[in-house]
Structure 1
Amino acid sequence: MTILTLVLYTSIIALVLYVLLNLFTRHPNRLPPGPTPWPIVGNLPHLGSIPHHGLAALATKYGPLMHLRLGFVDVVVAASASVAAQFLKTHDANFASRPPNSGAKHMAYNYQDLVFAPYGPRWRLLRKICSVHLFSSKALDDFRHVRQEEVAILTRDLVGAKKSPVKLGQLLNVCTTNALARVMLGRRVFGSGGGDLKAGEFKDMVVEMMVLAGEFNLGDFIPGLDWLDLQGIAKKMKNVHKRFDSFLNKILDEHKVGHDGASGHHGDLLSTLISVKDDADGEGGKLSDIEIKALLLNLFVAGTDTSSSTVEWAIAELIRNPQLLKRAQEEMDNVVGRDRLVTELDLSRLTFLQAIVKETFRLHPSTPLSLPRIASESCEINGYHIPKGSTLLVNVWAIARDPKKWADPLEFRPARFLPGGEKPDVDVRGNDFEVIPFGAGRRICVGLSLGMRMVQLLIATLVQTFDWELANGLMPEKLNMEEAYGLTLQRAAPLMVHPMSRLAPHVYERG
């Protein structure tokens, strides 16, 4: 039997299943509005090449609460702050788990990680470990010096670039990865003693994983086609997982050599995880090696490139708006001065800098389309029936650009978050649904506090220490601000810049 014949037979079977499924699953209650689905594939073609853009366009026609049929799966989309609050606040408990998907299966150790684990005791254990040992106020304060040291190293690397253009995103990724690795593993992973993996290779691996995780895989929505892997997505997922697993195995094996079973032997997160693994009486049971690797995978992927990409977007916006950069630098000079680098302790006094960070999170949320959730039971939202088993997608990107909530929503205007602006009291920590870059509710990003500190410190430092020119004499108004496809909001073209020191040399050397 040829491949073509096999695909033909499979398609016929899928069509029959589709017809039968629709006969037996018609909902007697009123579903939210949405476009008419195509046979078999449903509304998948309506998503377009960049799904958060395609879904935003559909919302202008069908409203902020939509129902789609992706293959055989019911999908509801929230595209306004009020609708998102209904799902993530009022009905949060009902949408606390994730739907089955190939990314979790093939890349996240078959749901044994924190991000995709089913809501329950194991998820609570993993989240508690991260919350207490990595993201608590005490833990963040204890490791403040690590972040500041890595950011100082970044400034020296940028000064050392001289007249050569630099790919800013890659250097930012090295900084965020090493800062996180020193807390997680007790050592850097790039640079001195950093192992064999090159920084560029690591970033490419993370971005590839994020792109694949953001793909709408036919097999997730039409189970009969899953085994064929028609798009080749599952094969790519398995390959990138194999590379990441090799990286994590090496880290775990090296760490075990010096581990003596005592809790916190190294004072880092991995030692704590190994101790929990050895503690059969720990809450929820002990952790397996696979669960430890899955958690490290989450932290490395979600905790590095999201922050570095956000900072890259911020600097791009400031280059395009030199008057804003100048205002931020004046605030920095007045509050911090020009004889030392800005520290985390300075951040609370930098009100315009904080507004820049909020506006960056608004226009360029690191996860523009929320990680999917699933309805454990049927419920009603705004008078519409939401069937049990429906997948929920929150269009974070569209919500933050809603013209009903934001004046001139496409403009980069940090002043909107200052006293006298339109949104002076709006925050990004999951309570104000107009801008929720970290999500909200039970599944809000566990690393929110670390992400905020790292992004604020990086942007503050790059504003204070450098003026910026684009490579190849490109004028700021010509800078490409298009987005690439993926789970996280990457730039379509990396930001290539010339950093020009604006402080005395001894400031960078002293760090």
Structure 2
Amino acid sequence: MDYQTLLLVITSLCASILIFIFKKLNQTQNSTKLPPGPKPLPIIGNILQLGKNPHRTLTNLSNIYGPIMTLKLGTLTTIVISSPQLAKQVLHENSQIFSNRTVPHALCALDHDKLSIGMLPTLASWKKLRKFCATKVFSTKVLDSTKILRQQKLQELLDYVNEKSKKGEIFDIGAAVFTTILNSISNTLCSMDLAHSTPDEKSQEFKNVMWGIMEEAGKPNVSDFFPILRPFDPQRIHARITNHMKKLCEIFDGIIEERISSRDSNSDSKVCNDVLDSLLNYNIEETTNKLSRNEMVHLFQDLFTAGTDTTSSTIEWVMAELLGNPEKLAKARKELCKEIGKDETIEESHISMLPFLQAVVKETFRLHPAAPLLLPHKCDENLNISGFNVPKNAQVLVNVWAMGRDPTIWENPNKFEPERFLERDINYKGNNFELIPFGAGKRICPGLPLAHRSVHLIVASLLRNFEWTLADGLNPEDMSMDERFGVTLKRVQSLRVQAISSA
């Protein structure tokens, strides 16, 4: 080897060593710029610290480490946001960078992550589904045209409660409302009931499948913390949710097939004017942007699973808070009696006439957001937020539960005080980041307009038509308000009540 060659080899070797050292130093500097957070344990990181109620744990940790902090959940770097200002930076100002998802392994069942409006990256397929939902499902025009269906399902709930009232029976208001919401959605989508208050075999199977999906999706999954374990599915969560999803997809596919066959065989067949008809008409009108059969089935699955439990649990929390605060209940009923005649049917158009009821709903969203950490976002490139490095591919959680309980934002944050919203012009439509139970920005929940109507209409009707007490003579101050973290934030104890007709 001549001198020049030797010099070249040594120079290359030294350069490689320097580059390696520089990269290591740079990685160390970058890691020190991560937001602060609790020290992780080897391998498992901070997993054990999360506990049964991660939203509460993360709130307590944010009081120590600040409104932006880092946790290591197995191999997953997780950034937690707990202030409206930083939530605005993530969800609005840098929405393009944070608009995609870290997808839980459970939701990869049957390739749902590749078909779901909630999980898809914000590219062509997502835009197509989003546009369809905005124009054919949740637009003001469509919701106005389907309100008679929701009114019918609400009347069935009132009839059920009235029957319980006549018999003096105690019942679970959350379960009753769940059936009502489920049938309201099923009639809006495909003009049929899929559940009954006294369920038959098929109805009960559908409910069980729905509950099964939500239960499995809400469980902590080791495969999410260590993606290398996904092929082994150690907790069998993926396997169980796949079985549930198969059953649900078979039900929806059968409904779609029956409607297509009906339309094909009879040109004079009944026009349902529901979402399924809109889907099929959309595919006839569109030449390039058609929805595949698989996309239709998984869209129905999204609309059911995202809309049913969130809305029904919110209504249950509203009723629990009002029953726990009798003076607020009396105030809400007084407003309803003043604005709406005794024999007048409450309609969605009455909502704007009921400012205190609207305040009650806002206060419930503040204290009990259905998705306390929203759905997880993913950072698509390295970004500086508030002087800290948010690394590419980090999972980002927005703790809306913490923001709703922040004493620097809300006076007496743990008290149920709807009056605070009579004095402040705040809504939950993604503009006021101190109250974003539906998220904000590109990924705001597309079902917000329907949830808004459903919650107000059902609560108003229940309060106007009945007087309410807790079951078994339970005093309001003794009622448990314990919550259980999952896909939605639910009550640990079901709300058992008695109703007395106001007629």
Deviation at 1:27, TM superposition (A): 5.1
- Structure 1 partner of 2:369: 365
Q: What's 1:314 paired with?
A: 318
Q: Match of 2:429, as an amino acid?
A: R
User: Hey, what does 2:358 align to over in structure 1?
Assistant: 354
CA distance in 1: counterparts of 2:26 and 2:452, whole angstroms? 44
For residues 45-103 of structure 1, the C-alpha deviation after alignment (integer angstroms, 9 at most, x for no partner) is 12111111111111111111011111112111111111111101111111111123212
Structure possessing the higher radius of gyration over alpha carbons: 2
Over residues 351-389 of structure 1, what are the superposed CA-to-partner deviations in whole Å (9 max), with x where a residue is unaligned?
111100100111111111110111111111001011111
Alignment of 1:245-256 (within 5 A): 245-256=249-260
What is the CA–CA distance in structure 2 between the aligned matches of 1:275 and 1:266, rounded to whole Å?
12
Asked if 2 retains the 8 angstrom alpha-carbon contact of 1:117 and 1:123, the reply is yes
Aligned: 1:188 with 2:189: no
Confirm or deny: 8 A CA contact 1:173 1:203 kept in the other structure. Answer: no
Aligned to 1:165: 170
SS at match of 1:259: helix
Which residues of 2 match residues 19-58 of structure 1 at below 5 A?
26=27, 28-29=29-30, 30-58=33-61
Give the corresponding residue for 1:460: 460
C-alpha distance in structure 2 between counterparts of 1:205 and 1:479, whole Å: 30
- Aligned residue in 2 for 1:112: 115
Shift of 1:212: 2.5
Please tell me the residue identity of whatever aligns with 2:29.
Answer: P
Range with bigger deviation, 295-304 or 145-154: 145-154
Provide the residue aligned with 1:76 in structure 2.
Answer: 79
Cα distance change, pair 165–194 in 1 and its aligned pair in 2 (3 A):
closer
- Distance of aligned partners of 1:351 and 1:289 in 2 relative to their CA distance in 1, 3 Å threshold: same
Distance 2:457 2:214 in 1: 24
Do residues 241 (structure 1) and 272 (structure 2) align? no
Q: Does 1:85 align with 2:88?
A: yes
The AA in structure 2 aligned to 1:443 is R
Query: 1:198 Cα shift?
Result: 2.4
The alpha carbon displacement at 1:107 in A equals 6.2
Matched, 1:323 2:324: no
Helix, strand or coil at the partner of 1:66: strand
Correspondent of 2:278 among 268, 272, 284:
272
Which residue among 116, 132, 135 is the counterpart of 1:129? Answer: 132
| Superposition deviation, residue 153 in structure 1 | 1.5
Offset, 1:478: 1.6
Gaps of 5+ in 1: 1-21, 505-511
2:63 is aligned, of 60, 63, 76, to: 60
Q: Deviations over 1:232-251 (max 9, x none)?
A: 32232223223322332332
Aligned length: 475
Give the conservation status (yes or no) of the 8 Å contact 2:168–2:498: yes
Q: What is the one-letter code of the residue matched to 1:441?
A: G
Task: Evaluate the alpha carbon distance shift between residue 143 and residue 231 of structure 1 in structure 2; reply closer, same or farther with a 3 A threshold.
Answer: same
Matches within 5 A, 1:97-108: 97-106=100-109
- Whether the 8 Å CA contact 1:264–1:271 is kept in 2: the answer is no
Give 1:445's aligned residue. Answer: 445
The CA distance in 1 between the partners of 2:199 and 2:284, in whole Å, is 27
Whichever residue aligns with residue 250 of structure 2, its letter is: S
Shift of 1:176: 1.1
1:207, distance to aligned residue in structure 2 (A): 3.6
Alignment of 1:369-448 (within 5 A): 369-419=373-423, 424-448=424-448
Distance in 2 (alpha carbons) for counterparts of 1:159 and 1:107: 42
- Computed over aligned residues only, the root mean square deviation of the Cα atoms, in angstroms, reads 2.4
182-191 or 86-95, larger mean C-alpha shift: 182-191
Residue deviations 1:267-300, cap 9 Å, x none? 22112223445567233xx222221111000101
Kindly state the Cα deviation for residue 37 of structure 1 after the two structures are TM-superposed: 1.2
2:297 pairs with 1:293: yes
Q: Does the 8 A contact of 2:73 with 2:225 survive in 1?
A: yes
CA contact (8 A) 1:189 1:195 kept: no
Q: Which amino acid aligns with 1:56?
A: T
SS of residue matched to 2:153: helix
Q: Is this contact kept in 2: 1:69–1:75, CA < 8 A?
A: yes
1:414 and 1:448 map into 2 onto residues whose CA distance is 20
Shift of 1:112: 0.6
Give the aligned partner of residue 507 of structure 1.
none
Alpha-carbon distance change, 478 to 194 in structure 1, aligned in 2, over 3 angstroms: closer
- Cα distance, 1:484 vs structure 2: 1.3
Change (3 A) 1:451 1:180: same
Aligned position for 1:230: 234
2:173 aligned partner, one-letter code: L
Could you say which structure has the higher helix fraction? 2
Which one-letter code corresponds to 1:28 in the other structure?
Q
Could you list the runs of 5+ residues in structure 2 that have no partner in the other structure?
1-22
Amino acid at match of 1:175: T
Check 1:331–1:260 CA distance in 2 against 1; reply closer, same or farther (3 A cut).
Answer: same
Distance 1:40 1:25 in 2: 23
Displacement after TM superposition at 1:104 (Å): 2.1
* 1:152 equivalent in structure 2: 155
Greater shift in the superposed pair: 322-331 or 473-482: 473-482
**d(CA) in 2 for partners of 1:292, 1:427:** 32
The equivalent of 2:142 in structure 1 is: 139
Q: Which residue of 1 aligns with 2:501?
A: 501
Query: CA 1:27/1:344 → structure 2, altered by over 3 Å: closer, same or farther?
Result: farther
TM-score by length of 1: 0.88
Over the matched positions of the two proteins, sequence identity in percent amounts to: 38
SS in structure 2 of the partner of residue 481 of structure 1: coil
For 2:264 and 2:67, locate their aligned partners in 1 and report how far apart those are by CA, in whole Å.
55
Return the offset for 1:143: 1.4
- C-alpha distance in structure 2 between counterparts of 1:24 and 1:74, whole Å: 19
Deviation at 1:150, TM superposition (A): 1.4
* SS at 1:497 equivalent: strand
Alignment TM-score, normalising by the size of structure 2: 0.89
Alpha carbons of structure 1 residues 456 and 450: separation in structure 2 relative to 1, 3 Å: same
For residues 205 and 416 of structure 1, the distance between their equivalents in structure 2, rounded to whole angstroms, comes to: 40
Task: Please give the alpha-carbon distance, in whole angstroms, between the structure 2 residues aligned to 1:74 and 1:320.
Answer: 40
Query: 1:11 maps to which residue?
Result: none
Query: Which SS does the other structure have where 1:432 is aligned?
Result: coil
Q: Distance in 2 between matches of 1:322 and 1:64?
A: 35
Contact 1:362 1:437 (C-alpha < 8 Å) held by counterparts: yes
